[in-house]
Amino acid sequence: MRTRRGRTAVGATVAAVAAVVLLVAGCGTPNPTAQARLEGHATGHTAGATDHPATAATGHAAKPVAPAKPAALRAGESMRTVTSPVSYTPKAPTTGTDDYRCFVLDPQVTRDAFVTGFDIAPGQPQEVHHVILFRVPPSAAAAARARDAESGGNGWTCFGGTGLGSRGASLDDAPWVGAWAPGGRENVLPADVGIPLQRGSLLVMQVHYNLRHGVTPDRTSVKLRLSSSSKLKPLETMLYPAPVELPCRAGTSGPLCDRNAAVADVTERFGAMSSRIVNGLLLVCNGTLIPTPGATQSCTRSVEQAATIRAVAGHMHLLGSSLRIDLNPGTARAKTLLDIKVWDFDNQGSVPIPATAIRPGDSIRVSCTHDQAWRDKLPDLQGLPERYVVWGEGTTDEMCLGLLSVTRP
């Protein structure tokens, strides 16, 4: 169900023509649930989803869901908690209602280790759209600390990536440790994998705040499971974005229904990177800069390196309706990796799947369907001007992103 849709809401996002990211990685425990429509809000079929009643007025869960008891530590594991060093009051650095803030966290890793699980706890979940943890290797630690020192330790604005030259967020390998989006909970990785964390590494925690429901000071914290085992396979995140080219509905109008005006608007709010992303995705996915407006957009890309897929996830925003990730579509070897028939923003957990090998020459297709009709149903979208919707960093903008958690041979 679209519980979070009734308030301001992964989801998203880091991007550039050759570096597009958003978030929701990890291997959560699935509890697939087929749901039906309730009180005018679409409910979702998302692995990891759980049924809970919603109020029609706000979309909040009628009863708060108690956090699950943490899973027991496994042999060789220890738990470490790191918290934002400051209580930060979000504010939009540009026009709009979104603030992306990066904070430096020191997990005090004194020897090489693997992250084998994480539990991200937003201090103000009603304001937090997503959280992404990026690895900062020892070679880039000084640069991260220097960037933080420029604000007196209060972090920095970071639309897109971390803003550090070493972030290395490519389409195929994002230096993520973990991520949180609505519906996120403790993620414990399978016993044979982990995310490498070198001795002396730092973390950069990117928090996307959406301010339509206040600006309460926030301190987000993270519990990390660390393992000293040297036998684990490194887990990586592969990112597969697709364009968003959603025109205004027939019979509606407004200045932002013009695509050029819509692109200029996201550029004003998030910087010149935004127009490069919008047009770059068209070029990468469709081989043209000429958009084909429509509710459903997709992107098919070839696999360049052999890997084994261990889990999959998708990410959209409030206008999302459905999302699919397919392996080798249109061939005799076609396989659907993820099929979210009705998108649920509140349940963006990663879905573990049976180990699936991919090799060079295979193809991955991500397809997303968005629907402007949600503007009439979701309180957070009502009253906003009609607009042509493109890829954008804000909660009331849109994204289309597939994520694969993989190990390499």
- 215-257 confidence digits (pLDDT tens): 999 999 999 999 999 899 999 989 999 999 999 999 999 999 9
Average pLDDT for the chain:
82
Q: Which CATH fold would you assign to the domain 4-52+76-407?
A: Jelly Rolls (2.60.120)
Residues 6+ apart with CB under 8 A from 282: 243, 245, 288, 289, 290, 291
Buried-state track 22-31, b at ≥16 Cβ within 10 A, e below 16: bbbbbbbbbe
Residue 33's SS3 state is coil
pLDDT band at residue 68, thresholds of 50, 70 and 90? low
pLDDT at 31 over 60: no
Question: pLDDT tens digits, residue range 146-157?
Answer: 999 999 999 999
At 178, the pLDDT band (50, 70, 90 cuts) reads confident
Per-residue pLDDT, 96: 82
Q: What is the pTM of this model?
A: 0.77
The Cα–Cα gap between 22 and 136 comes to 17
